[in-house]
């Protein structure tokens, strides 16, 4: 009886070991993952590898066999992934300092190269965070702040995407899209920008006022010249009328201005030529 129990226990242990061995020999790969199988640290094969549209895949998702305790499976995302970097300082060509937010979309197209160089897909974001700030400074520092704030940053976005893609290809990663989102001035830069705007506004207002005053003086001078010409012409045609008009102007200059009321006094005899036009003569 005891011998039978022992044999049964041994058989159960063997079955459990075989079940464990079988479980360790099968890997289930989903549609959204790529699996890099390594043997003794060296890449052996890739399961469900990403292929460009139209290409025929060499293997797909599902159950995959591997040697237990010898082969290792490294999981890598198959679809698009994204990473965002915020508040990256950029110096512009017009001596401004901007804070730039950038969104990057990428895909792992060579999982073997990725595993060989970085070890896992989680390290891609670290690489982007290390590479992108210097590219932003290099490409955007050639442009003024107003251009960087426009959609596409005046072509700077395309240049950064191309440069970042070239660097990440060495890790088996393709940059699909790069967008420069929020572009703002830091707090100190905002105050400086507002001060510059106010100074520019005041300067423009002064230039407009000065130009208007010059135009007004020119118009008055032209009017006076025209009036003097008319008076001179009329003096030759009708001396009597000219004398009358000259008397009116002189009287208006001395007594017609309310601000100069009582400031001038003229003592003349009643039969003076100055008054003959006002006496009806």
Cβ-based neighbours of 37, under 8 Å, separated by 6 or more: 27, 43, 44, 45, 46, 47, 64, 66, 71, 72, 73, 74
More confident residue, 210 or 175: 175
Question: Once rounded to an integer, what is the mean pLDDT over residues 229-246?
Answer: 65
Token reading at 217: 């003086």
Question: Residue 277 pLDDT more than 60?
Answer: no
Distance CA 30, CA 33 (A): 6
pTM above 0.85, yes or no: no
Contact, 186 vs 99, CB < 8 A? yes
Neighbouring CB atoms inside 10 A of 166's CB total 10
Q: What are phi and psi of 55, to 5 degrees?
A: -80, 150
Question: Residue 208 pLDDT more than 50?
Answer: yes
C-alpha 37: how far from chain center: 43
Q: Which pLDDT band, with edges at 50, 70 and 90, does 81 fall under?
A: very high
C-alpha 102: how far from chain center: 10
Question: Residue 117 pLDDT more than 80?
Answer: yes
Distance CA 264, CA 95 (A): 63
pLDDT for the residue 278: 57
Contact, 78 vs 33, CB < 8 A? yes
DSSP label at residue 71: E
Counting residues of the chain whose pLDDT is more than 90, the rounded percentage is 21
């Amino acid at each position: 009886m005891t011998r039978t129990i022992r044999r049964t226990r041994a058989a159960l242990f063997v079955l459990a070991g075989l079940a464990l061995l079988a479980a360790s020999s099968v890997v289930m790969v989903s549609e959204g993952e790529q699996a890099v199988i390594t043997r003794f640290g060296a890449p052996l094969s890739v399961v469900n590898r990403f292929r460009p549209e139209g290409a025929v895949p060499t293997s797909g998702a599902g159950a995959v066999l591997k040697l237990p305790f010898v082969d290792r499976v490294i999981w890598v995302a198959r679809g698009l992934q994204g990473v965002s970097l915020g508040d990256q300082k950029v110096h512009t060509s017009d001596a401004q300092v901007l804070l730039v937010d950038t969104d990057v979309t990428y895909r792992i197209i060579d999982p073997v190269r990725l595993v060989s160089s970085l070890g896992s897909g989680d390290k891609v974001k670290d690489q982007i965070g290390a590479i992108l700030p210097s590219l932003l400074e290099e490409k955007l520092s050639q442009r003024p702040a107003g251009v960087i704030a426009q959609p596409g940053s005046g072509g700077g976005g395309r240049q950064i995407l191309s440069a970042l893609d070239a660097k990440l290809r060495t890790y088996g990663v393709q940059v699909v899209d790069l967008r420069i989102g929020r572009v703002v001035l830091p707090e100190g830069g905002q105050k400086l920008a507002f001060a510059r705007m106010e100074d520019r506004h005041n300067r423009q207002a002064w230039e407009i006022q000065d130009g208007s005053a010059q135009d007004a003086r020119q118009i008055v001078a032209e009017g006076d010249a025209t009036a003097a010409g008319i008076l001179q012409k009329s003096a030759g045609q009708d001396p009597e009328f000219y004398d009358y008009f000259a008397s009116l102007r002189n009287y208006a200059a001395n007594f017609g201005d309310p601000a100069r009321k009582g400031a001038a006094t003229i003592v003349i005899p009643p039969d003076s030529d100055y008054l003959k036009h006002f006496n009806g003569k």
